[in-house]
Amino acid sequence: MTELSPARTRVAPSPTGDPHVGTAYQALFDFAWARRTGGQFVLRIEDTDRARLVEGSEQQIYDSLSWLGLEPDESPVAGGPYGPYRQSERLETYRPFVDQLLADGHAYHCWCTPERLAEMREQQQASKQATTGYDRLCHGKTAEQRAALPGFQPTPVVRMFVPDDVPLVFDDLIGGELSAPRPDDQVILKADGFPTYHLAVVVDDHLMGITHMVRGQEWISSTPKQILLHQWLGWQVPAFAHTPLIRNTDRSKLGKRKSPWAKLSWFREQGYLPEALLNFLMLLGHPPVHEGDDVQSLDEFVQHFDWSRINPAGAVFDLKKMDWLNGHYLRELSTEELTARIIEFEAARGRALDHNQRAVLSHAVPLVQPRMTLLGDALSAIEFLLTEDDQLTVAEDARASLPPNAGEVLAAAFTALEHLTDWDHEMIQANLREALVDGLGLKPKVAFAPVRVAIAGSKVSPPLFESMEILGRESSLRRLVGLRETL
């Protein structure tokens, strides 16, 4: 195999809200390629659009990447040799490049007021002009010359002077040869002196030594402008990898409003494990590393990761697969680990378990683990074990399901267990079987149903005899009596 040169990749989210799952998806590819080539994965915060900043969003970005185990090598918090990694702290960086572009004639000042630009756009639309975009009224003019015309504002923006022969085709590691529409004379410096995204991204990617620009396909149309800027400034153009858009199974876009799973925080709140989400993201667009087996570790993914294997046609977000993977990873955990994760999960949603409840949980985890899909399933399944006997409520449907001889069954069960000294599930089962199946001549399926309702308050529960063992003798007997008295 040819030696791969160390790549420097980056994910560059804007802290404008709850991080999108696409950010983690791209970070995964960045991480994989950087690891595979022995390079570095950088996290840069693109916060120059001050109006759109959302407080706490930057922290959420760090938290969610770290939750997933996609720790950047360089970032605003980790630091690194190319800092600062937050664009708002780099504002002086961009100006000299704007001056250079102005001096070289690749950029020009534009004094047009927003009103004039709006009017221009309206006219273009009304006359169905073929070429739309900025009409270059300001190009080649001094401030004085321009001031003599209408729609002038004294503080200019700076625009790119996009040549007629701007290359519109470029190579993409995922999509192959891609083409984009002709760009407008993009603003690169705003009137307030802040660079726009297009300038900042190019300057920072260059100064940070980024070799691969990995981002969503929605940025394809920006690529020709950014290539131009790299070329004008005499810089090497990085490689591009535009990742397929993530879609729902019905092909709809994964928007945060309609699809809550578009938000990274959703997965944690729902009780998904980070390893399951990570595995799920690996399978979005990239075939499994072992054919026919969806389960893979991050290490395996890194070893086999290849841009050319990514399907550019799209990544389908199949929540059923996500659930299946989560169940798989939940079952992989040791009892101790799973117990700890459940405790942490419940605490995060405001349910702190005391010492006794934790002890019950750790005994009950092996009973529920085989059937769990989400972390929260554990407590809902064993709530009856954490409830005081006199607080246990019997569900309507469970009560309605009781057979006419339920009283008799409960009485026989009580007698069978009353003097049982070795309180373990095998003995419980043997004694109940003897009393109810052999003694009363009931079929096993019917025999234990009233006992289950008495113990768990519902028709379904984790394995009954094991549950009774955990609950203990006193409580179990009390519950048998308790239900009987209400019949």
Binding mask 314-353 for ligand GLU (x = CB under 6 A): ----------------------------------------
Mark whether 256 is an active-site residue: yes
Residues paired with 251 in a beta bridge: none
Q: Are 467 and 365 in contact (CB under 8 A)?
A: no
Pick the stretch among 11-19, 27-35, 159-167, 282-290 that binds ligand GLU (CB under 6 A): 11-19
In Å, how far are 96, 145, 277, 386 from 345, measured between CA atoms?
49, 65, 16, 17
Nearest-angstrom CA–CA distance, 120 and 132: 9
Question: Is the peptide bond between 84 and the residue preceding it cis, with omega within 30 degrees of 0?
Answer: yes
**Among 211-219, 239-247, 271-279, 363-371, which window interacts with ligand GLU (CB under 6 A)?**
211-219
Helix (H) or strand (E) holding 112: strand 107-112
18, 30, 46, 469: which one binds ligand GLU (CB under 6 A): 46
Q: Please tell me whether residue 14 binds ligand GLU under the rule CB under 6 A.
A: yes
C-alpha dihedral (471, 474, 477, 479), degrees to nearest 10 = -60
Q: Does 204 bind ligand GLU (CB under 6 A)?
A: no
Site string for ligand GLU, 215-234 (x = CB under 6 A): x---x---------------
Can you read off the two tokens belonging to residue 455?
């113990």
Count the residues of the shown chain that bind ligand GLU, applying the rule CB under 6 A. 9
Q: List Cβ<8 Å contacts ≥24 apart for 440-447.
A: 440/405, 440/408, 440/409, 440/412, 442/409, 446/403, 447/409
C-alpha separations of 459 from 16, 452, 462 in Å: 47, 7, 10
Q: Where are the alpha helices (DSSP H) in 305-354?
A: 319-332, 335-348
How many beta carbons lie within 10 A of that of residue 388, not counting itself?
A: 8
Task: Compare residues 41 and 111 and give the one whose CB is closer to ligand GLU.
Answer: 41
Least distance to ligand GLU, CB of residue 219, Å: 5
Nearer of residues 208 and 276 to ligand GLU, judged by Cβ: 208
**Contact positions with ligand GLU (CB under 6 A) in 71-110:** none
Tell me which amino acid residue 52 is: R
Q: Determine which one of 141, 190, 256, 321 is catalytic.
A: 256
Q: Which is nearer to ligand GLU, 240 or 267 (CB)?
A: 240
Say whether residue 469 binds ligand GLU (CB under 6 A): no
Write the binding mask 181 to 200 for ligand GLU: x where contact by CB under 6 A, - elsewhere.
----------------x---
- Shortest distance (Å) from residue 57 CB to ligand GLU: 11
Residue 400 Cα to chain centre, angstroms: 43
User: H or E segment at 482?
Assistant: helix 473-485
Structural contact between residues 436 and 412, judged by C-beta atoms closer than 8 angstroms: yes
Of 198 and 452, CB closest to ligand GLU: 198
Closest approach of ligand GLU to the CB of residue 213, in Å:
6
Residues written for the chain: 487
Residue span binding ligand GLU (CB under 6 A) among the ranges 9-17, 65-73, 89-97, 181-189: 9-17
Candidate ranges 12-20, 361-369, 419-427, 452-460; the one touching ligand GLU (CB under 6 A): 12-20
Q: How far apart are CA 420 and CA 394, in angstroms?
A: 26
| Footprint on this chain of ligand GLU (rule: CB under 6 A) | 12-14, 46, 197, 201, 213, 215, 219
Task: Cite the active site residues.
Answer: 256
